[in-house]
Amino acid sequence: MSWNEEWAAAATCKQSRPDELFVRGAEQHKAKVVCAGCPVRAECLAEALDNRIEWGVWGGMTERERRAVLRKRPNVTSWRALLAAAKEAHLGTSSVTA
């Protein structure tokens, strides 16, 4: 499976109500379950990291988790490129372009 440019249309959460994904505390764990089997989890996470989205669960990560990732890798200029390359390596394909 290659990088999905139209990832939002394929997202598992598109069937959910937005208020189920933009929650606080323990409710975030329930929201992350929605992401667990999503086919476009990496694309969603890249969107949140590249755009510094500060609220909600995106790509299976809470805002706190995303902030931690951003602090650990402050020099990444394109999370989309990084995650696309990782997805390509994991899947053993060469059809992904960043």
44 is in an annotated binding site: yes
Single out the residue of 12, 98, 93 nearest to residue 59, CA to CA.
12
22 is in an annotated binding site: no
The region, left, alpha or beta by phi > 0 then psi within -120 to 50, assigned to residue 57 is beta
Single out the residue of 31, 74, 14, 21 nearest to residue 49, CA to CA.
74
CA distance 64 to 88: 27
35 is in an annotated binding site: yes
Binding annotation for [4Fe-4S] cluster: 13, 35, 38, 44
Binding annotation: 13, 35, 38, 44
